[in-house]
Structure 1
């Protein structure tokens, strides 16, 4: 009898458990490293104004050539929540150095089923699908899906020229050392087809709504770009 009751309750609760509540707004600071050496700092903020949400990041070069070039990168995603997951409603990217400026954008029109992607003088129309993400929202989607107990996920991500599938899997739990301390984090790896030699690994903290605490992008030639959490605080 007890077992039947437990199974019945689990069946009733499953739809609710599958939808993780949106995280609270926050501000997080990261150090950015290239091949193990500090390159700059990044500030990431998830903000809410009523039903309107934004995820912004500001990366500045503070050391070496990045500082000399005055490297400054800003990204801004506007989003809404669909079935407990983020969905992009717009995206802006701007990169400035002492030598040039580069801008990219995604303009989403769900009613027309399209996304207009602009990169400098190049403009093209992509097909919109429910739940589509921009590249900045992937980590936020991973946080929601890990909180909901998922171990492998696939997202449709709008890039410059196409909406492309991206797959990720939970590879286990790992203790990582970052400036903010030692954290028992969920290790997530991107699944890539073929042998490109490029890898992406993200560590997320279950104790803080699966906030990313470390990210490592390794290229085929061995070059790595890394972000490590320095500190985080709630944002009003």
Structure 2
């Protein structure tokens, strides 16, 4: 009962509205701006992440990720996820979470795949906000995450705590997490989470298989 109340109190203390903006660079050169919003009304949440390219990258259209679901005592419980790239529906992916039947339905290029839905599964838009509700206190944390195309366990290892990091949005005390997954598969990321601002991401680095480094740094943060 004590642990349940602790989780409930964490969820209750978290903000109901969050707006984060980032500058994204590829190999050190700016190529996009990212705006993310988290909104909770009652027990319902909506997360939206919009990436707008800069210069030639703008020709590819906006990349939009959206996650909808409910907030529970165990954090976020996604119901629906979708990702769009510009107006190209062929690149859209969807994931629907049937928690009663424990089934995850993923739609990619018109093909539908259903797989067993593991408890606590997140999508690629929701999982950073799961840390907002349930901070990663252990030295290693793992989450089952779906991209809309597949699902697998992503693991992260804390390599440094209370790291001072200065970005355009200000100076933050951060928790530094690196990828600890035993298998690859893409989307491996490195995070610096703001310890005193609900463990929201201050900086994110993703290294692609071809060696390209994509870095997001926080330019503004609003929470209430």
Question: For residue 211 of structure 1, what is the aligned residue in structure 2?
Answer: 200
- Give the secondary-structure state (helix, strand or coil) at the position aligned to 1:177: strand
Q: Deviations over 1:195-229 (max 9, x none)?
A: 88985210111111111111000124321111111
Q: Are the equivalent residues in 2 in contact too, given 1:33–1:225 (CA < 8 A)?
A: yes
Taking the aligned partners of 2:181 and 2:166, their CA distance within structure 1 comes to 26
CA distance in 2, matches of 1:154, 1:188: 11
Q: CA RMSD in A?
A: 2.5
Q: Secondary structure at the match of 2:51?
A: strand
Residues 88 and 131, structure 1, Cα contact 8 Å, conserved in 2: no
Structure 1 length-normalised TM: 0.83
* Structure 2: stretches of 5+ with no match in the other structure: none
Q: 1:195 to 1:82 in 2, by over 3 A?
A: closer
What SS does structure 2 have at the residue aligned with 1:112?
coil
Asked whether the 8 Å contact 2:90–2:109 carries over to 1, the reply is: no
Cα distance in 2, alignment partners of residues 27 and 225 from structure 1: 21
TM-score (norm 2): 0.87
Secondary structure of the corresponding residue to residue 140 of structure 1: helix
Unaligned runs of 5+ in 1: 1-11
Alignment of 1:1-236 (within 5 A): 16-18=5-7, 20-22=10-12, 23-24=14-15, 25-63=17-55, 65-67=56-58, 69-96=59-86, 102-146=91-135, 149-173=137-161, 174-193=163-182, 199-234=188-223
The structure 1 segments of at least 4 consecutive aligned residues displaced by more than 6 Å after TM superposition are: 195-198
Bigger CA radius of gyration: 1
CA-to-aligned-CA distance 1:29-61 (integer Å, 9 cap, x gap):
111111111111111000012221011111101
What is the aligned length? 220
3-state SS of the aligned residue for 2:91? strand
